[in-house]
Amino acid sequence: MSSVPSAQKAAPAKKNKIRLFGREYQTNEVLVSILFIVPTLAFMVFTFILPVIDVVELSFTNFNLKTRTLNYIKLDNYKYLLGEEDFWKSLLNTVKYSAMKLTLDTALALFLAVLLDKNIKGKKFFRSSFFAPVVVPMVASSLIWIWFYDPNVGPFNQILGWLGLPGSQWLYHESSALWSILLFSLWKGVGYNVILFLSGLQNIPDSYTEAAKLDGASEWKLFWKVKFPLLRPITSFVIMMGIINSFKVFAEFNVMTPDGGPLGSTKLIVSYIYELAFTNGRMGRACACALMLFALIFVLTQFQSLVGAHKTVDID
Amino acid sequence: MASVELKNIKKIYPFSGEDKKSKKKNKDAAPEKKVNLQITDEGVVAVQEFSLDIADKEFIVLVGPSGCGKSTTLRMVAGLEEITAGELYIDGKFMNDVAPKDRDIAMVFQNYALYPHMTVFENMAFSLKLQKVDKKEIERRVREAAEILDITDYLERKPKALSGGQRQRVAIGRAIVRDPKVMLMDEPLSNLDAKLRNEMRAEIIKLRQRINTTFIYVTHDQTEAMTLGDRIVIMKDGFIQQIGTPQDVFNHPANLFVAGFIGMPVMNFFDAELIREGDKFFVELDGEKVELAPDKEERLAKRNVQSQTVTLGVRPEHTAIADKGIEAVIDVAEMMGSSVHLHVTAAGRDVIIIVPTADASVDYRIGDRVHFTFGGRVAHIFSKETDRNLEFD
Ligand SMILES: Nc1ncnc2c1ncn2[C@@H]1O[C@H](COP(=O)(O)OP(=O)(O)O)[C@@H](O)[C@H]1O
Ligand SMILES: [Mg+2]
């Protein structure tokens, strides 16, 4: 008896249905959901998608901010860049910096996290002191470090002097400028990864550690055979973010060594893009260069996730 | 294969900063606590006065309610917990300060603790690899252990792809491939469902015959303790209550706690009179006067026990329905198959009487009046003051 009226009700409801991606939805549900999506979508379109399309388009033009010319020149910008020594030099600097930063930062962060994971005294103090630089604004801390690095009045050279060691020109010499900024950025950024690794280490259940100890593992083996593999998802994430951030690095370089540093030794790819776009006004070339950087980061992160993906583990 | 000797072992867990703060609040908030561990200035005393000599190849079971210090004791033997005071010897060697990895001990954890990033084979081979055992020998020993435990088919799987029972087998396998001096197991079966638990219990009995090493096994389940142990150590609130064979602790419980803890359903307790007439001892309950067995009388006489009010314990399976005797009113009758469990009220107490089905010619109904008796061999006499068995202490 009761099934009859419900069947009648169901029949007219059918008219208000809509098929989307092989599924049936109520029309009014679809309308409401569109209403919810629209603001975010609009925001995305205007702040992200349209500019990206613009960049792609501009990279095929000779758009010049100063002369206001805009002509389509096909692949000329790309050809120009590939034949330009500055492009290759800044790319090489970027790769050098990124490789060193990624390796040192990850290794140091892991090392510090392992130390902090032990029951040492003053653990909380160390944890916050490593993290403190992360929360200081980049420009402010860069300015402080410019003073640290000052060859005449900076504390670094003073300390070296007390130790009877020769001072360094730090930011003011082509052989040391890039490494000086690297040292700064390790100080600035390592705390963040320390916290990530530390939380990963603390998430490893004690029983794994205990089982490994009873299995006869030394601290060394315990770390490399049990803890490190279990940290894999976090290591993966740290490396991925490291690649992205170190290729995009700009602020500290621009503050500490404006205009590419001594003999262009600290000119990175992003600084080069900035120079092309805003110093020289060659927006077309800058867009082409930005797209090439994007492609490089994309390829590297894809490669990294391919290597890392199949080895991830679930702790249950 | 080794003997283990624990001498007056004590464990104090120091307060952490937060504990101290929260302790005061807790005292007001939750006055009724299940566990009554002693609390000193240094911290919570989880285990104390623990002395036990474990012979080579003996199977010892630590049993007691949750929080009584079983795991703590086991972990001190393993070296995972520092020993606050007392001495631990394994194979005659002083072990207090020896690192876990150098004790040659294997442990099966309650949550299995299989390394999630390794296959079953790698899990089992891990300790052997660390010992730099020859590859072929590792292969042989892992396969042999897998054979015993019937997990050969899963060797290439990760623990995640195994059921609880299979993981349990792998955890045991990981422990036995090493051929350890002492095998520790902390509630290895309590994460399994009832059916699997019974199966695995039987397997552990079989396993024990094959691998022939010293076992220390922790459980809160008295059935497991009774079926597995050569000797049982019953613990409560950090203290040992009794050490003995399963028969011992069943037939001669040292105190009221052991009497109530061992045996299922639990022992019935009554307020009764112990009456001494020369060298004869009687227990009188609800007008029924039962003479105790000669060996009990002898022990009581030897300890010069006098007439007094006592707590009388009689196990449900040792009561018998009779035409006259102690009067009881039936509250519930449970048909269990081979027997009927009568839950009755007698002498002001809740009592269980087990009647074998063969004798249960009568149809028991709620509110019916029945009479029961018990024999002098199965009456346990406990002091009202100390709760201890008057025969022994
Ligand atoms: N790490 C610890 N810190 C403080 N107290 C603990 C710690 N581990 C156990 N305890 C306490 O010690 C007592 C005994 O614990 P445990 O040995 O695990 O009991 P069982 O295994 O018999 O259930 C419990 O009351 C518990 O709260
Ligand atoms: Mg426990």
Round to whole Å and give the CA distance between B264 and B270: 17
Ligand 1 in contact with B48 (CB < 6 A)? no
Give 3-state DSSP helix, strand, coil % of chain B, rounded to 5: 30, 35, 35
pLDDT surpassing 90 at residue B263 = yes
> Candidates 1.10.3720.10, 1.10.287.110, 3.20.20.105, 2.60.40.1890; correct CATH number of A79-310?
1.10.3720.10
CA of B107 to the centre of ligand 1 (A): 18
Residues B269 and B170 placed together within one structural domain of the fold: no
Prediction ipTM score: 0.86
**B127–A contact, CB cutoff 8 A:** yes
Residues B224 and B272 placed together within one structural domain of the fold: no
Instruction: Examine residue B391 and state whether it is found in any structural domain, yes or no.
Output: no
Question: Any idea what the CATH number is for the domain that residue B291 is in?
Answer: 2.40.50.140
Instruction: Examine residue B393 and state whether it is found in any structural domain, yes or no.
Output: no
Question: Any idea what the CATH number is for the domain that residue B245 is in?
Answer: 3.40.50.300
Per-residue pLDDT tens over the stretch B292-311: 999 999 999 999 999 999 99
Do B127 and A215 count as a contact with CB atoms less than 8 A apart? yes
Instruction: Examine residue B59 and state whether it is found in any structural domain, yes or no.
Output: yes
Average pLDDT score, chain B: 91
Among B251, B278, B293, give the residue marking a domain's end.
Answer: B251
Residues B235 and B148 placed together within one structural domain of the fold: yes
Stated pTM of the model? 0.83
Instruction: Examine residue B379 and state whether it is found in any structural domain, yes or no.
Output: yes
By residue range, what is the domain housing residue B363? 256-383
B268 three-class SS: strand
Round to whole Å and give the CA distance between A217 and A210: 10
Query: Chain-centre distance of CA B264, in angstroms?
Result: 13
Residue A26 confidence (pLDDT):
86
Per-residue pLDDT tens over the stretch A200-235: 999 999 999 999 999 999 999 999 999 999 999 899
Residues B46 and B189 placed together within one structural domain of the fold: yes
Do B126 and A205 count as a contact with CB atoms less than 8 A apart? no
Q: How confident is the model at residue A311 (pLDDT cuts 50, 70, 90)?
A: low
Peptide bond into A51 cis (omega under 30): no
Residues B143 and B222 placed together within one structural domain of the fold: yes
Ligand 1 in contact with B72 (CB < 6 A)? yes
Q: How confident is the model at residue B363 (pLDDT cuts 50, 70, 90)?
A: confident
Contacting residues of B for A214, CB less than 8 Å apart: 78-80, 100-101, 103, 105-107
Residues B228 and B101 placed together within one structural domain of the fold: yes
Q: What is the average pLDDT across B305-322?
A: 95
Residue A27 confidence (pLDDT):
86
- The closest residue, in CA terms, to atom 9 on ligand 1 is B72
**B109–A contact, CB cutoff 8 A:** yes
Residues B200 and B67 placed together within one structural domain of the fold: yes
pLDDT surpassing 80 at residue A3 = no
Alpha helices for B252-347 (secondary structure H): 256-261, 294-302
Q: Could you please report the per-residue DSSP string of B169-203?
A: HHHHHHHHTT--SEEEEESTTTTS-HHHHHHHHHH
Q: What is the average pLDDT across A283-306?
A: 92
For ligand 2, an ion, list residues with CB under 5 A. B 71
Per-residue pLDDT tens over the stretch A159-207: 999 999 998 899 999 889 999 999 999 999 999 999 999 999 999 999 9
Share above pLDDT 70 across residues of chain B, in percent, rounded to a whole number? 94
Residue A306 confidence (pLDDT):
84
Residues B158 and B270 placed together within one structural domain of the fold: no
Q: How confident is the model at residue A309 (pLDDT cuts 50, 70, 90)?
A: low
Among B251, B267, B300, give the residue marking a domain's end.
Answer: B251
Residues B267 and B155 placed together within one structural domain of the fold: no
> Which mutation among B9, B10, B11, B13 tests ligand 1's pocket best, with the greatest number of atoms within 8 A of CB?
B13
Per-residue pLDDT tens over the stretch A12-41: 555 678 887 778 888 888 889 899 999 999
Q: Looking at the CA of residue B44, tell me the nearest atom of ligand 1.
A: 5
Token pair, residue A61, equals 């033009």
Residues B220 and B306 placed together within one structural domain of the fold: no
- The closest residue, in CA terms, to atom 2 on ligand 1 is B13
Q: Looking at the CA of residue B35, tell me the nearest atom of ligand 1.
A: 25
Amino acid (one-letter) located at B197? R
Higher pLDDT among residues A234 and B18, named by residue: A234
Residues B260 and B200 placed together within one structural domain of the fold: no
Higher pLDDT among residues A5 and B210, named by residue: B210
Residue A303, min C-alpha distance to chain B (Å): 22
Contacting residues of A for B117, CB less than 8 Å apart: 229-230, 232, 311, 313
Residues B325 and B345 placed together within one structural domain of the fold: yes
Among B207, B229, B251, give the residue marking a domain's end.
Answer: B251
Q: What angle do CA B250, B253, B257 make, to 5 degrees?
A: 110
Q: Give me the number of domains chain B comprises.
A: 2
Residue A7 confidence (pLDDT):
45
Residue A103 confidence (pLDDT):
95
Per-residue pLDDT tens over the stretch B179-189: 999 999 999 99
Q: What is the average pLDDT across A113-138?
A: 90
